[in-house]
Amino acid sequence: MTQRVLFITPPFTQLNTPYPATAYLKGFLNTKNIESHQADLGIEVILRLFSTQGLRTLFDALVASDDIELSDNSYRIYSLRDEYIQTINPVIRFLQNKNPTLAHAICDRNYLPEASRFSQLDDLDWAFGTMGTHDKARHFATLYLEDLADLITEAVDPHFGFSRYAERLGRSATHFDELHEALQAPDTQISTILTDLLEEKIQQWQPTVVCLTVPFPGNLYGALKCGKYLKTHYPDIKVVMGGGYANTELRSLKETRVFEYLDFVALDDGEAPLLHLLEYLAGNRSIDQLKRVFTLVDGKVHYLNGTRERDVAQRDTGTPDYRELPLNDYLSVIEVVNPMHRLWSDGRWNKLTLAHGCYWGKCSFCDVTLDYIKRYEPLTASLLCDRIEEIIGQTGQNGFHFVDEAAPPALMRDLALEIIRRKLTVVWWTNIRFEKSFTADLCQLLKASGCIAVSGGLEVASDRLLERMKKGVTVAQVARVADHFTQAGIMVHAYLMYGFPTQTTQETIDSLEMVRQLFESGVVQSGFWHRFAMTAHSPVGLQPMAFDVQRIGPDFGGFADNDLDHADPNGADHDLFAEGLRKSLFNYMHGVCFEFPLQDWFDFEVPETTISPDFIQSSLEEPADEFRPNAWAIWLGKEPSVTFYEEMQRKRVVQRAEVVFYDRKQEWGLETRAVEGQWLQEVLPLLQVKAQEPMALEKIRQDYESKGMGSFDRFLTSATGEKLRENGLLIV
């Protein structure tokens, strides 16, 4: 039997761009000539709900209802229902970048109806000094949608959220009871829209297998709603669930009721498990030869992993296929003005992975025992650029988010060179480790290839705890690396953590001081504090006593098993610090309140910091590391124009050279010895990023010194060398 696969992203992930899992798997099935289709029901539900007809249906239901009591805010929105119905379609088109001139009307503050979300604007005056009219209008339009969402949550569906659906039910759901009960409740307008759209897809593509990707807890409820509909109306269609939630939460699955909604739950990379399942459903593979799959056998949950076949190599997974997704219909919103969060929610980003897994793979708070972290497998720069070009051809979009756990510096260097070599226009950002491999010159190269931002884990900003975490970095090193990116014009976002086991009150305050200095010095521009969470598959979760904490629950109830409750007898009362850390960071990100004593951020007594007030600045002034022995020399500029002339020096004629360069911004030049000018004319074209391999620094050194011009290292630190390095001579 020929299989037809339908990949579905259930509500909700992001408004601005599709989650890539379905595109990845569709790209893989393309390589096997297996028919597949995909749909992002998250964005489609949003667009159907937030439309003239969708709001009319919503408000008509409220008018007809006699037993709903609305809060003052929701009643205001209800009273302005005609204004919302009138404005919703133009606003959605504006957020889709299809109606840009509406920005002027929105910014006038007389066009959109306003409810409680707009009260935030009094606290955001600092933002509007730097936001243009279009961005300001998008922020207003986002608040307008969030007002409507508040009404929906209160009066229509308590599970609604723009980037999550019933997330509370899916998070830490050790037992299935509450989720199962919620799934039996009558449909709401949201779930009705969801199943109506699902029915349209079934009629359109007639699939034999439906695959539901669940990357986050906020997708689980929507996925099971889809599964319930399919099992009720199309029992012959096989329903498979996979994704990040299953990979981390459901590895110990015992709950049989899950299979009232699904037929299979697949773990880890989906290519091989799905291919094996399709072969099994076609009668070409026995059930005991499936790969990493849970299913119901004789009324009990069984984990089937009998095959010895390996996972599909990353080079063989194919290019992600974004076709059939409504790429021009996603919404560019500005939910918050945190610079990195804005990147996540603003604009359409093609998602691509540089390497499977994490090349570091040691952090004690991370799920390093699971396949998606543990198995490191990089791609080649050439193959990555092939996929980049193909995806640009599919989507017409040049923006890429490389979704690696931590992008490898050497591969980033090679990719940057390949992008420049192919003369591609790419704008990209990714996650990194703040390791010393990111030299100032490497960051300049990444910028030249299109890198605009990086995010990385500073975590606790305490060297003792960073060592305990096995991060492999120090705070001083993070500062220097962040400065390299910043000096190159690449935005830096720091993931910050509080509450790591044994973290004391003093260490929390000292971490805050480190963060204050990082922002005051300008080397970090964006950040976010996360509360430490102990997970079942991390070293801390597997060996809590080794980290001086105790696991105190929860009891496993047959469903999810990941987030662990724990006691930290040697640490501070971490929850006390949440609001002060959030509030201080909010101000530091926007360049204010650096002079405030740290005590001012907390309503309880905290100790004075023990960190020197110039710690970060002193770290930045430490001398740079020497060049790697096998470093390459790269010239990003054009070939120079060299003019030779004679000059009298102390009654003798000296041969001199004027070397002139033209770049995109300016014409500039330098004067040097004739022999150096001749050498630059010959060697700089050889250092340009062309078809040949980059030239080794040692080879250039030998060539320079063999011509009797003196020490090459002295040349690099001379006025000529420094001018060249400022304008595109890189050692990477």
Q: What are phi and psi of 241, to 5 degrees?
A: -120, 140
Residue 22 forms part of a structural domain: yes
- Whether residues 508 and 447 share a domain: the answer is yes
Residue 599 lies in a domain: yes
CA of 625: how far to CAs of 438, 440, 481, 732, in Å? 11, 10, 12, 12
Note whether residue 707 is domain-resident: yes
Strand-pair partners of 349: none
**Can you give the CATH number for the domain in which 446 is found?**
3.80.30.20
For 694-732, the pLDDT digits (tens) are 899 999 999 999 988 899 999 999 999 999 999 999 999
- Contact call for residues 22 and 213 (beta carbons, < 8 A): yes
Coil vs helix vs strand at 290: coil
Residue 531 corresponds to which tokens in the numbers above? Answer: 């509360």
In a domain, 648, yes or no: yes
Q: State whether the Cα torsion 308-312-314-316 is positive or negative.
A: positive
Residues 548 and 458 in one domain: yes
> Tokens 């070397």 label which residue?
659
> Does residue 324 fall inside a structural domain?
no
Amino acid at 183: L
Indicate the residue type of 72.
D
- Burial group, residue 287, by CB count within 10 angstroms (0-12, 13-18, 19+): middle
Position 122 confidence tier, pLDDT thresholds 50, 70, 90: low
Residues 269-313 have pLDDT tens digits of 999 999 999 999 999 999 999 999 999 999 999 999 999 999 999
What's the domain range around 655? Answer: 632-731
How open is the CA angle 378-265-286, to the nearest 5 degrees?
A: 90
Whole-number Å distance between alpha carbons of 512 and 504: 12
> Is residue 38 a part of any domain in this protein?
yes
Question: What pLDDT does residue 706 have?
Answer: 93
- Average pLDDT in the 251-264 region? 97
210 and 148 assigned to the same domain: no
Q: What is the pTM of this model?
A: 0.93
Bigger pLDDT: 624 or 258?
Answer: 258
User: Is residue 663 a contact partner of residue 638, using CB atoms and an 8 Å limit?
Assistant: yes
Residue 633 and residue 687 in contact, taking contact as beta carbons nearer than 8 Å: yes
Q: Which of 486-519 are b and which e, b meaning 16 or more Cβ less than 10 Å from the residue's Cβ? A: bebebbbbbebbbbbbbbebebbbbbbbbbbbbb
Residue at 107 is within a domain:
yes
Percent of the chain scoring above 70 in pLDDT: 98
Structure tokens, 625: 């590391």
Query: How far is C-alpha 591 from the chain's CA centre?
Result: 24
> What distance in Å separates the CA atoms of residue 425 and residue 444, rounded to the nearest whole number?
16
Looking at the fold, whether 605 and 670 belong to one and the same domain comes out as: no
Q: What is the dihedral of CA 160, 161, 166, 167, to 10 degrees?
A: -170
Residue 142 and residue 231 in one domain: no
Question: Among the listed ranges 130-134, 214-218, 326-330, which one has the minimum average pLDDT value?
Answer: 130-134
**Mean of pLDDT values over 320-339:** 87
Query: Is pLDDT above 90 for 553?
Result: no
Asked if 360 and 386 sit in the same domain, the reply is yes
Q: How many domains are contained in the chain? A: 4
Where does a domain end: 316, 339, 365? 316
Mean pLDDT over each residue of the chain, to the nearest integer: 93
Question: What DSSP letter does each residue of 151-211 carry, written as one string?
Answer: HHHHHT-TT--TT-SSHHHHTT--SSHHHHHHHHSPP-HHHHHHHHHHHHHHHHH--SEEE
The angle at the Cα of 284, spanning 282 to 289, to the nearest 5 degrees, equals: 110
H or E element in which residue 565 lies = strand 563-567
